[in-house]
Amino acid sequence: MQVVRTIPELRKIVDQWRKDGLRVGLVPTMGGLHSGHLSLVQTVKSISDKTVATIFVNPAQFAPHEDFDTYPRDEKTDSDLLIGEGTDLLFAPDTEVMYPGGSDTTLNVGKIGTLLEGEFRPHFFSGVATIVTKLFMQCLPDVAVFGEKDYQQLCVIRQFSRDLDIPVEIVGCPTLREPDGLAMSSRNRYLSPEQRQIAVSLSRALEIAAAKFSQGIEIEMCEMMAKQELLNAGFDSVDYIAIRDAETLLSLTYASTSARILGAATLGKTRLIDNLSV
């Protein structure tokens, strides 16, 4: 696996692949890799000739009170995991490469970025959209994969890529889960053993709410019961539990063809999110 840290190096290698007629796939991550990320690499490898992974903890998507400083950073471990999957190239820039002095442009993703996570993390999706656009422009992959674990992020990336006509195919991959159902997340490592036991109730509450909704119980009731379950289980607060249109993330309408249930809740200092198809 080649490791590059500058945009010209990245472009030189990818340009050559493109000239050779190879299809290039990108897996953008913030490092802290777990099996979920590795499944994204496997997906890219199955649909591309060359696989580029990136690890960069993007300051623009953290608010000052969030966990930017403590977010897991261990390039050696990440790198070994990527080599194990047969990744061709690791792009690991530093902050000065990604945000040189004077950087001032951001993307505004519109309505979809203001909902759900956007209510609690107002600058989050603008930060995500800006860095993902930059990675797309730096690498110009044919395809990029993102996990459904960050479902709203996937919707946002689809939205701005379509709106700006970015010529990159966006592929979503199913969430990987621990045996008890907890969605894999780089932030799970923050959890104490006791919190880890409580954490599983997030996926369980979403499953139960989805089942109730399918049985015809009204949305507000399903959402409220799930919230109460999380608080009973030991979560400190619940930001939202919401059953929404799976594409727009707005309230369901008669035009909705599929639905998604999404939730966010906090356990100590750790904020967890999860979602399921309904």
In the complex, the residues that contact its own copies under the rule CB under 8 A are 7, 11, 103-112, 126, 129-130, 133-134, 137-138, 140, 159-160, 163-167
**CA torsion sign, 92 to 94 to 96 to 98?**
positive
Q: Assess whether 37 carries a catalytic annotation.
A: yes
Q: How far is the CB of 18 from its own copies (least distance, A)?
A: 9
- 101/179 with CB nearer its own copies: 101
Q: Which is nearer to its own copies, 106 or 197 (CB)?
A: 106
Cβ 104 to its own copies shortest distance, Å: 3
- Compute φ and ψ for 236, nearest 5 degrees: -80, -35
C-alpha dihedral over 71, 75, 77, 80, to 10 degrees?
140
From the candidates 34, 37, 65, 123, which is the catalytic residue?
Answer: 37
Nearer to its own copies, 79 or 138 (CB): 138
Neighbours of 92 (CB within 10 A): 16
Give CA 141 to chain center in angstroms. 18
For residue 165, the tally of other CB atoms under 10 A from its CB is 6
CB of 57 to its own copies, least distance (A): 18
Q: How far apart are CA 202 and CA 272, in angstroms?
A: 8
Which residues make beta-bridge pairs with 245? 259
Question: In residues, how long is the chain?
Answer: 278
What is the C-alpha to C-alpha distance for residues 273 and 269, in angstroms, rounded to an integer? 13
Which one, 134 or 271, has the nearer CB to its own copies? Answer: 134
* Minimum CB–partner distance for residue 129 and its own copies (Å): 8
**Of 217 and 250, CB closest to its own copies:** 250
Least CB distance to its own copies at residue 263 (A): 24
277 phi, psi to nearest 5 deg:
-70, 140
Token couple for 256: 């909705």
Alpha-carbon gap, residue 248 to 152, rounded angstroms: 9
Active site residues: 37
